[in-house]
Structure 1
């Protein structure tokens, strides 16, 4: 049997490659020929050729952010099994058991889901994740440059701003370039949300209108629309364009619909609507939200930090994790960094704790888990929580309970110590490049969270293994 497939996820880092490797290994065990294309943070890798697709018996689509219309056309008429990338690792062992009944024929105009009905090709969350995935490089690159500029100043370099007759300093220029990433991350997010729904004709209007909604000088507001503007404008323009494209104008004018009429009319309508209504309204809401977050009593912030931390650790890159991550990430454009500080702490814990637990109590883990421990520790240290998934699948109750409780405590400590993270980075080493501060309290919180996580894993899994052993004996 010949299998081809595509894997992708919103961040394009861990799930994309882990699932591809898992599918490849399973196919090799079964003696199948396999070629998997990964659509990750580095772009498309191992791109499938037309010949490979044509020869394939089945196509596996493990998706976290959907596929483009062009990709649909590539697989038109093929037997396809589609499932969320977050579920793929759980089902890879049984994926090929009844593949004939799971698969459905894909048509370029519309993806038909398989019999499991769990696959999600379209939906609000997938559109939002498409926007987040596009915004990540902007905030990562911009955040790193801002950190570099800050470090240059700390090392004694001048921080002279541009002014008439004054040459700006290098540190100021580097920081200013970095700030462009934060300026454009929100318009890019809105543009790609719209693009995921309405395709290319929606991109430019959504980008320009979202930029307008966040330009306080143009709107005359105290605050920009922030991530809320990106979400509302992106979804609104996306759906507007999606249905606008169905208008029939005749052979003479139809070619102009996507290239000229849709962008022009959409920009005109939503530009005016945003200037006079949406922009000021969303600015008012964002100002209220930020005021509310600042006004929360410290005790309630700690409780909220516990909840956010527990959510981040609960399903290790799944929908609960993504919801908490999206909340924290979306506040970066408003220069609120302490909620994203929780992300920098908690996402390190589950994989690193699982690895350390295998070293301390190797008899509690399988040979495969022990062999994967070094990789899980290293990848986990760079803020990819997904390497903890195989450990959780092997013993879900104790591992998830340990991760969630430790993550919640670490999240509460992160808020208590006001740990701030200005952009995604390289995890454990973020303080070294200026992305996370205060550095000492960051490492203290990680150390406490890690120690608790390891302790909980050992205690909970030990009890769970004893209980499982008793069940086996009684049977």
Structure 2
């Protein structure tokens, strides 16, 4: 019996990670293979592969979206590996197992290759940035929920008394203050994990401390912190600096202390001073300019920006374009700019929910399998997991992607115009109930408008597409 082990991960660690793991497991079992799948998601590593399972495996499948650490790569050294981006795994699941031998390559701990000479990119700027976002998510989710709870307590009449001499703080103030810590530390964590994704543990502490420094406006004497721009620049700079620093050979006496003593000390010293005198003030100035621009741009430009962000979010349903718009919107949360992330909360609901509703209204436009999957797409999609829309888009790329993108763009423009704000990632359609999306009435109005537009576009565009397809088939016959 063929034995397979697999690892799945994605930048957010929420949807793709588990959907792809399930798909690999089901497909492998249907072929009579023994399979074990490890997920590296938002909850951490689950179903971790044992050394015995890896040793006995004939092939390793890596469906990854945020790369692998050096220690992960070492686990699969000299194994036959098939690697593909996690965003592509669902698209190719039916053919993934067709030629494992031909599509695999013996892995070395330094790189992975697919086939004879094609190197698969498991590293790259966006991969590193999304690794930082993935680490920051729990800080924002936990912090955002606590702030929402504190706000709800005050709205229901509970006191919001701060800490002062001779006065005990109220529970609402304490909960809100704890929540604020999540937003305070999300940027240092983002910078630290960007560096960690590039060069592993030696880069983590210096990147965390230096990014924290860059966002301490009191210490730097700046009007604002460096924000996510500082996290990106510092995380990448320290990550690549440490990556090449690790290659230095110091001899047997000092080589053993290089990663945990020399590298962190030297890196922190160099980048600490550099950030205090140059990078921190420069990034803080840029961040102030960006925030001022976003807050003061005319309504017409804001609508155009909302359209672009909304269209990007809906275009490739969890792909690189979607992630770029998501990263921009999410990163502004640390600066308490919530309306761009409000677009995310609305638009990411639309493609799967609209596809499901369209199957109910016009079932003749869809296959039996698509109709059967509609309830699953609707329910999962309502929790801001756009991936259930992918099978519908693969079946009819031109009409479905066009409908999603156009509806997403228009809805994004309406959402930014109505100033819908989302303070943290949540559970989609229920976010207003948790106090994470407001005003609740504009949120639900935007979702309703978006769904009407998206469903209408799907029915119109796919109807035209199927009609032309039938005409071409008749002509060919």
What TM-score, normalized to structure 2? 0.97
Task: Note if 1:308 corresponds to 2:331.
Answer: no
Single out whichever of 189-198 and 50-59 deviates more from structure 2: 50-59
Task: Note if 1:95 corresponds to 2:133.
Answer: no
Task: Note if 1:43 corresponds to 2:67.
Answer: no
Instruction: Label 1:218 to 1:319 Cα distance change in 2 as closer, same or farther (>3 A).
Output: same
Q: CA RMSD in A?
A: 1.2
Q: CA deviation at 1:344?
A: 0.4
Q: Is the 8 A contact 1:102 1:116 kept in 2?
A: no
Q: Which residue of 1 aligns with 2:123?
A: 122
3-state secondary structure, aligned to 2:73? helix
Q: Is the 8 A contact 2:112 2:120 kept in 1?
A: no
Q: CA deviation at 1:115?
A: 5.3
Q: CA deviation at 1:374?
A: 1.1
3-state secondary structure, aligned to 1:60? strand
Task: Note if 1:245 corresponds to 2:235.
Answer: no
Q: Which residue of 1 aligns with 2:176?
A: 175
Structure 1: runs of 5 or more not aligned: none
Q: Is the 8 A contact 2:194 2:236 kept in 1?
A: yes
Correspondence 1:402-413 to 2 at 5 A: 402-413=403-414
3-state secondary structure, aligned to 1:120? coil
Q: CA deviation at 1:411?
A: 0.1
Q: Which residue of 2 aligns with 1:352?
A: 353
- Give the Cα–Cα distance (whole angstroms) in 2 for the partners of residues 170 and 319 of structure 1: 42
- Give the Cα–Cα distance (whole angstroms) in 2 for the partners of residues 185 and 165 of structure 1: 32
Instruction: Label 1:126 to 1:430 Cα distance change in 2 as closer, same or farther (>3 A).
Output: same
3-state secondary structure, aligned to 1:102? coil
Task: Note if 1:463 corresponds to 2:464.
Answer: yes
- Give the Cα–Cα distance (whole angstroms) in 1 for the partners of residues 88 and 244 of structure 2: 32
Q: CA deviation at 1:28?
A: 2.6
Residues 338-393 of structure 1: CA distance to partner in whole angstroms, max 9, x if unpaired?
10000000000001111111111222212221221111111111111111111111
Q: Is the 8 A contact 1:227 1:331 kept in 2?
A: yes
Q: Which residue of 2 aligns with 1:148?
A: 149
- For these two proteins, the number of residue pairs brought into alignment is 475
Q: Which residue of 1 aligns with 2:297?
A: 296
Residues 318-352 of structure 1: CA distance to partner in whole angstroms, max 9, x if unpaired?
00000000111111111111100000000000011
Instruction: Label 1:472 to 1:246 Cα distance change in 2 as closer, same or farther (>3 A).
Output: same
Q: Is the 8 A contact 1:402 1:456 kept in 2?
A: yes
3-state secondary structure, aligned to 1:81? strand
3-state secondary structure, aligned to 1:59? strand
Q: Is the 8 A contact 1:84 1:118 kept in 2?
A: no
- Give the Cα–Cα distance (whole angstroms) in 1 for the partners of residues 115 and 208 of structure 2: 34
Q: CA deviation at 1:24?
A: 2.0
Q: Is the 8 A contact 2:146 2:175 kept in 1?
A: yes
- Give the Cα–Cα distance (whole angstroms) in 2 for the partners of residues 29 and 115 of structure 1: 29
- Give the Cα–Cα distance (whole angstroms) in 2 for the partners of residues 86 and 206 of structure 1: 29
Residues 203-237 of structure 1: CA distance to partner in whole angstroms, max 9, x if unpaired?
00000000000001111110100000000000111
